[in-house]
Amino acid sequence: MLDDASTTPRSPAADTAAPVSDTVEPGRRGFLKGASLGAMGALLGTAIPFGRNMPPGFVPVALAQDSGLGLMDAKQGLTLLNDRPVNAETPAHLLDDDVTPYERMFVRNNGLVPQHALDMNADSWTLTIDGEVENPLTLTLADLQNEFETVTTPLWVECGGNGRAFFQPGASGNQWTVGAVGCPEWTGVRLKDVLERAGVKPTAVYTGHYGNDVHLSGDPDKEVISRGVPIEKALAPENLIAWAMNGEPVPAMHGFPLRLVIPGFPGSVSQKYLTRIWVRDRQHDGAKMTGYSYRLPAYPVAPGTEVPESDMVVMMEMPVKSLVTFPATGAEVAAGRPTEVRGHAWCGKGDVAAMHVSLDFGQTWQEAELMAPPNTFAWQRWTASVTPPEAGYYEVWARATDKDGNMQPAVVPGWNPRGYGNNMMHRIALFAV
């Protein structure tokens, strides 16, 4: 069922021109206390039949769990799309750092932040590896830290629905514009090393990931999200089981105390609050692996087509993409003088091959300087110098190309029912004076 199918997408032009404001409302923190039972019923998605007999100020158990919204106070300048669960994206100009700081890392929660994470309590935490393995493992944080090689490396995470706001007709789900992506530095062990310690059987086909965040209904037996990757991807060297982000314990919002970081694939495979990896003998069928979730039509369809569920296939590598992170859209620059523009580029297949910018709506292009990444699956810095010939309105369009020659398109590519994989070029406005 589509939860918010009527959401209208914002137009790209509106996004380009809009001033970016801090939309996190601190006053929302204690909002449950003042809410009417009717409003709470709406949150639960069901009526509360004996509501009129409940004492004033009563909070139903299903809603007592904190969504973690209070944790957003430490984020800086993010756009809050939803407060239960918490979803927030980062304006492009705040993603200029090579390594994304905590304050600017987007948040995508499908459920509620679990209590142990709110308490930052990792006592008795274990990770189980089972299924198609020779020796099922149950590892503590200390086991992971002591028995495997520790790796520290920047890796990008991008939500599969980043760019959804630009699909027409619109697609249900969070209306991400461009900022559901970030590249923090992660510390942990290679997923591959842990899987190899468990001994992957030849029958292994896929992984299934589990965390212990709380379903929006409050029902402890309901899975929030449980996705997986083909075993070949799971055994690739880039993936980490991480306990630290930017040198600190993984923050509550981002999966404390342990999460997967599987760059290249949609962010949803990077399970937070990780408790179990089930090695499967078939494609995983956990929550949000089936139906229309993180799936694309197996063939190109016209916008708005009703695609039968049986024709939907799992989304794999994210397409090549880039952002302009400096200057901020709407910047004033000097006419006739060179202006520095810069950003990052990344690709689900690994390194980006080339980067170009245009100052005349895509009529002519100049090559930008593209740095090698510090490691595969860290995003790559690009810089260019553009000169607006005279006073007036300009746009910088940025276009990355992958090693197979695929470029970012100027328009939304491949319409799909849930609005995944939009890698259209990012553009910003410049006013030359």
Q: Closest approach of Cβ 430 to Mo ion, in Å?
A: 31
User: What's the residue count for the chain?
Assistant: 433
Select 68 or 131, whichever has its Cβ closest to Mo ion: 68
Q: Does 163 bind ligand MTE (CB under 6 A)?
A: no
Q: How many residues bind to ligand MTE according to rule CB under 6 A?
A: 20
Q: Are 235 and 192 in contact (CB under 8 A)?
A: yes
380 binding partner (options Mo ion, ligand MTE, none; Cβ < 5 to 8 Å by kind): none
Q: Closest approach of Cβ 209 to ligand MTE, in Å?
A: 8
Select 147 or 223, whichever has its Cβ closest to ligand MTE: 223
- Contacts of ligand MTE in 367-426 (CB under 6 A): none
Q: Does 108 bind Mo ion (CB under 5 A)?
A: yes
The set of residues, in sequence order, having a beta carbon less than 8 Å from that of 46 and lying 6+ positions away, is none
- Closest by CA to 253, choosing from 154, 123, 117, 158, is 117
Select 132 or 213, whichever has its Cβ closest to ligand MTE: 213
Q: Closest approach of Cβ 158 to ligand MTE, in Å?
A: 7
Select 24 or 225, whichever has its Cβ closest to ligand MTE: 225
Q: Does 341 bind Mo ion (CB under 5 A)?
A: no
272 binding partner (options Mo ion, ligand MTE, none; Cβ < 5 to 8 Å by kind): ligand MTE
Helix residue spans in 218-278 (DSSP H): 231-234
* Unique residue bearing structure tokens 């100009």: 93
Which SS3 state, helix, strand or coil, does residue 82 take?
strand
Q: Does 79 bind ligand MTE (CB under 6 A)?
A: no
Angle at 422 between CA 404 and CA 113, to 5 degrees: 120
Q: How many residues bind to Mo ion according to rule CB under 5 A?
A: 4
270 binding partner (options Mo ion, ligand MTE, none; Cβ < 5 to 8 Å by kind): ligand MTE
346 binding partner (options Mo ion, ligand MTE, none; Cβ < 5 to 8 Å by kind): none
Select 87 or 325, whichever has its Cβ closest to ligand MTE: 87
Q: Closest approach of Cβ 245 to ligand MTE, in Å?
A: 8
- Contacts of ligand MTE in 225-264 (CB under 6 A): 225, 254
Q: Does 67 bind Mo ion (CB under 5 A)?
A: no
How far is it, in rounded angstroms, from Cα 200 to Cα 207? Answer: 11
Q: Does 268 bind Mo ion (CB under 5 A)?
A: yes
Q: Does 267 bind Mo ion (CB under 5 A)?
A: yes
Q: Does 215 bind ligand MTE (CB under 6 A)?
A: no
Residue among 79, 153, 268, 339 that touches ligand MTE (CB under 6 A)? 268
> CA dihedral in degrees (63, 68, 69, 74; nearest 10)?
170
The set of residues, in sequence order, having a beta carbon less than 8 Å from that of 401 and lying 6+ positions away, is 320, 352, 353, 354, 355, 356, 407, 408
- Closest by CA to 156, choosing from 14, 425, 394, 352, is 352
- Residue 55 burial (CB count, 10 A): 5
- Contacts of ligand MTE in 107-136 (CB under 6 A): 107-111
Q: Closest approach of Cβ 382 to ligand MTE, in Å?
A: 23
Select 66 or 89, whichever has its Cβ closest to Mo ion: 89
How far is it, in rounded angstroms, from Cα 198 to Cα 132? Answer: 9
How far is it, in rounded angstroms, from Cα 237 to Cα 233? Answer: 9
- Contacts of ligand MTE in 142-161 (CB under 6 A): 157, 159
Q: Is 405 exposed, middle or buried (0-12, 13-18, 19+ CB in 10 A)?
A: exposed
CA distances from 144 to 116, 149, 172, 242 (A): 19, 9, 39, 10
Q: At residue 184, what is the residue type?
A: P
Select 100 or 358, whichever has its Cβ closest to ligand MTE: 100
Beta strands in 222-376 (DSSP E): 240-245, 248-249, 259-261, 274-280, 295-297, 312-314, 321-326, 331-333, 339-346, 352-358, 366-367, 369-370
- Residue numbers at the binding site for ligand MTE (CB under 6 A): 105-111, 157, 159, 211, 213, 224-225, 254, 267-268, 270-273
Contact residues toward Mo ion (CB under 5 A) are 108, 159, 267-268
